[in-house]
Structure 1
Amino acid sequence: MTRYLSHASRRRSVVIAGAGIAAAVALALSGCTGGGTPSGGTADPDAKVTLDFWNGFTGPDGPALQKVVDDFNASQDRVTVKTNIMPWDTLYQKVLTAAAGKDGPDIVAMSASRLPQFIDEGLYQPLDDYYENPDNQADALTQAAVDASMYDGKNYGVPVNIATMLMYYNKDLFSAAGLDPEKPPTTWDEFAAMVPKLTVDDNNDGKPEQYAIALADHETVPMYQPLLWNAGGGVVSDDGKTSELGSDGSLEALNFWVDLVRDQKASPIGLAGADADKLFTTGKAAMEIVGPWMTSGFTDAGLNFGLAPTPAGPAEQTTLADVVSMSVPASADETTKQAAYEFFAYWNSEEGQKTWAEGSGFPPTRSDVADQITGNPFPSVFGAADIVDNSKVYLAGVAAGGTITTTIFEPALQKALNGEGSVDDLFTEASKQVQAELDK
């Protein structure tokens, strides 16, 4: 997932909102190399097709993705996939200007939670016929990964991956703090009790040399938002119709974590996802909540780390499940779309998923190959039933999800962390703004 959105370690994204920007995106996608003619008609099964595949896997999982692409290209001589890998925020911005050079993507990978804002403007085409073809073995896919790209009764994506978040912790730093390296915190209260021991400010200048946790507050997969679930709150209701930011559970969670970060300096303020990864990698943070894409990076860095579920809140213990889906622009013709389907089917084949899981640490998108992953211990950890069953996709099917995250939630959070207002006041107002977006 490379953490979403700057993918130097994480998938990060920039929100695309407003009619003017949406129009720009429409223009960009109309310039796709496989496009020019809307989907429909008859595909040419003999045509040689080159597919430009835009994605943001710039982190430690990038080589695994490239290996699957290379294997697909070598498996046949009709369809060639060329990867165009860039940070996720760059990808979203570049799509806006792709029309100028008429070199836009034929396949776009993005967090499934971002798809609705593009779908709502008619920029991607439904891919339901992919799932209807038994040759694609779509029935073997994890249902949560498939459902993540559903919007208004249709499916607009095919999964690249499903990634649950776990808490990485540095066993050496735990030992140095006098904590048992085999006993990471299991509850919020246990975590809070460890903060003073794991946050080290030797010269008392207010700038710790070591932090208890690297907790990113922007340009990252949602880190703070899932914490709200564990106090019985959330950003929006499960049906996507009602804001929950002003609920008692949400405010309880936000007050708890903002206090730990702002007042007890559990984490630096203002971290992007890549910053958080670097802090943990360099041994300057004892914990980080992140997905399987960092397993190889942290291993290569020589860290003695453990993995554990995120600490349980007062109401439940739910973690984020993020899904990246591959989509086809609305402008792509039938030949291009069917060529993309060939790649999608290979990606999610037994062979493709074994290569992907072994190389990336992600659990496979299909459960029937899980027991065949023997060269990498991490897919089974992140794909464990108790982790997957207690995970949830953030803002699935909410067209305003990007706007809610980057123009409402994150600014309110940063103001609270910087002491520019109380949590209750800031997020009560933010909740009204979220509701206004949902009501549009």
Structure 2
Amino acid sequence: MKNKKTNTFFKIFTVLLTSLFFITACGNDKEDSTDSDGSNDSGQTELTFWNGFTASDGEILQEIVDEFNQTNDKGINIKMEVMTWANFNERLPTSITAGSGPDFVLMNNVDFAQYVNNGAVKPLDDFWNYEGVDQDNFEETALELGEIDGTQYFIPMQVQGMFTYWNKDLYESAGLDPEKAPETWEEVIENAVKIADPSTNTHGFTINHDGNAILYNWIIQNGGQILNEDETESAFASDETLEVLEKIQEAIHENKSGPEYISGAELDNLLMSGQIAMHINGPWLNNGLIANEINYGVTTVPQVNPDTPYAVLDGVGFGIPSSTDDNKTEAIYEFISYWNTTEIGKKWSIENGFPTYLKSVKEDSEIQDNEIVSELTKQLDFAEPLYPGNIDMPTINADIIEPMLENLLTGGDPEELMNQADQEINDIVK
């Protein structure tokens, strides 16, 4: 049985799309001021571009768009509109059905499958035939983020995951080697207990109640899974999952390694103010830590067994809504191709502190000399997408795993919570 909320979204979206196609078919003799090559009366091709890059990374993205507008020789002009991701996911479906959507977008990999399922985005396999594009320059796992059944629906724009940040000053104050990163979850917890000091409001390590990425990394490293191999049943209830849930609760409730109940934003603030020794989060924290002059290190996500490493790979990619004029495809591909050059890939990784998915960027000497980017990029050697293209994962994340984690962190019984989540996942995927 499918989730009621997800089913309702799909039904409404499908009806709206059907209406759009009917209206389009009936109105195909309407005059259009756009020429067959996608250009307007002035000879320029105007493109609208939506995304959710609202922080400092959005400023860098706008700078790159502006550079493209000024330097491309094909008369392409991109107008970028930035909004929160929540607003993006609210506005995009209705704009596509109304035929007023953007020409191209950026999408998080966990969200794009629902658009593919409803025929709301175009397949992009022909991008690999565009002049100057080298598919072999992309890490295969980065491409898998945007594939469903062998068809490419979004082209990588950035990749990300969970990484280990540690405060070197707090390590040193506790008598730990400030240059030695914690490699395992066991080390993280042991070090956290040594560092935590309630008298000075110093914390070792904790997990925020409104996230699930840490949990997925740890469970799968420990031999557990969320879904079975063909993604038709839950695999959440297992000894491996239970062991992780019990260790999290033990570290935070019994060993007092950090705050028992805290949001992701509050946890980020503790890191930025130098009040927590270790934090597992994405690469977007690097610029803030540098700006706040925190003496920190960053490395790959902790492992259960470093000899068999695993990490969840996430990312953002370019997509083209089904409502976009086909005559604009070449202009959109021109920008996506521009984005995926070594020069732009290097700029984005260095200025944002993000890992790279382009092999030519990874091999660049400036990247190899960059302590942050080179370290984070190592994770791509063993990181994998988590159930790419699965339309149920957003609902599982928001409606099942996050509430379960919240209850775990407030003292709920780990086994009962695991079994309840297992049943709720089955209610969705079966």
Q: With structure 1 as the length reference, what TM-score do the two structures score?
A: 0.84
1:29–1:105 CA contact under 8 A, matched in 2:
no
The match for 1:8 is none
Q: 2:220 aligns with which of 223, 226, 229?
A: 229
AA aligned to 1:400 is D
Say if 2:415 is the partner of 1:424: yes
Aligned pairs (5 A) from 1:80-91: 80-91=77-88
Say if 2:207 is the partner of 1:215: yes
Aligned pairs (5 A) from 1:99-110: 104-110=101-107
User: Which region of structure 1 is more displaced relative to structure 2, 184-193 or 249-258?
Assistant: 184-193
Change (3 A) 1:170 1:394: same
Deviation string for 1:60-93 (max 9, x for gaps)?
4333322221221112262222222233233223
The match for 1:301 is 292
The match for 1:18 is 6
Aligned pairs (5 A) from 1:37-52: 44=37, 46-47=39-40, 48-52=44-48
2:38–2:327 CA contact under 8 A, matched in 1:
yes
Aligned pairs (5 A) from 1:255-270: 255-270=246-261
AA aligned to 1:178 is G
Aligned pairs (5 A) from 1:304-343: 304-313=295-304, 316-343=308-335
Using the TM superposition, give the Cα deviation of residue 347 of structure 1 relative to its aligned residue in structure 2, in angstroms: 0.7
AA aligned to 2:238 is S
The match for 1:243 is 234
Name the CA distance, whole Å, in 2 between partners of 1:377 and 1:325. Answer: 25
Change (3 A) 1:151 1:198: same
Name the CA distance, whole Å, in 1 between partners of 2:170 and 2:17. Answer: 48
Change (3 A) 1:222 1:54: farther
The match for 1:9 is none
Pairs aligned (count): 412
Say if 2:67 is the partner of 1:71: yes
Name the CA distance, whole Å, in 2 between partners of 1:286 and 1:405. Answer: 27
Aligned pairs (5 A) from 1:251-290: 251-290=242-281
2:227–2:233 CA contact under 8 A, matched in 1:
yes
Aligned pairs (5 A) from 1:81-160: 81-95=78-92, 98=95, 104-160=101-157
Say if 2:375 is the partner of 1:381: yes
Deviation string for 1:14-72 (max 9, x for gaps)?
x994233335556888999xx9689xxx9515443332222222334333322221221
Change (3 A) 1:16 1:213: farther
Name the CA distance, whole Å, in 2 between partners of 1:292 and 1:51. Answer: 29
1:404–1:434 CA contact under 8 A, matched in 2:
yes
Q: 2:49 aligns with which of 46, 50, 53?
A: 53
AA aligned to 1:342 is E
Deviation string for 1:303-348 (max 9, x for gaps)?
1001233322159432222111111111212023332212111111
2:96–2:321 CA contact under 8 A, matched in 1:
no
Name the CA distance, whole Å, in 2 between partners of 1:278 and 1:124. Answer: 37
Name the CA distance, whole Å, in 2 between partners of 1:30 and 1:72. Answer: 36
Using the TM superposition, give the Cα deviation of residue 231 of structure 1 relative to its aligned residue in structure 2, in angstroms: 1.0
The match for 2:351 is 359
AA aligned to 1:232 is G
Change (3 A) 1:50 1:144: same
Name the CA distance, whole Å, in 1 between partners of 2:230 and 2:160. Answer: 22
Task: Decide which structure has greater helix share.
Answer: 2
SS of 2:279's equivalent in the other structure is: strand
The match for 1:180 is 177
Using the TM superposition, give the Cα deviation of residue 295 of structure 1 relative to its aligned residue in structure 2, in angstroms: 1.6
Q: Which runs of 5+ in 2 are unaligned?
A: 27-34
Q: Which runs of 5+ in 1 are unaligned?
A: 1-14, 203-207
2:167–2:295 CA contact under 8 A, matched in 1:
yes
RMSD of equivalent CA atoms: 3.1
Q: 2:196 aligns with which of 175, 194, 199?
A: 199
1:31–1:104 CA contact under 8 A, matched in 2:
no
SS of 1:415's equivalent in the other structure is: helix
Change (3 A) 1:267 1:91: farther
Using the TM superposition, give the Cα deviation of residue 99 of structure 1 relative to its aligned residue in structure 2, in angstroms: 7.0
1:73–1:81 CA contact under 8 A, matched in 2:
yes
Using the TM superposition, give the Cα deviation of residue 190 of structure 1 relative to its aligned residue in structure 2, in angstroms: 2.1
Name the CA distance, whole Å, in 2 between partners of 1:43 and 1:110. Answer: 28
AA aligned to 1:148 is L
1:348–1:365 CA contact under 8 A, matched in 2:
no
Deviation string for 1:245-288 (max 9, x for gaps)?
10211111121113223443434345443333222111121111
SS of 1:135's equivalent in the other structure is: coil
Change (3 A) 1:36 1:66: farther
AA aligned to 1:210 is T
Change (3 A) 1:125 1:299: same
AA aligned to 1:233 is G
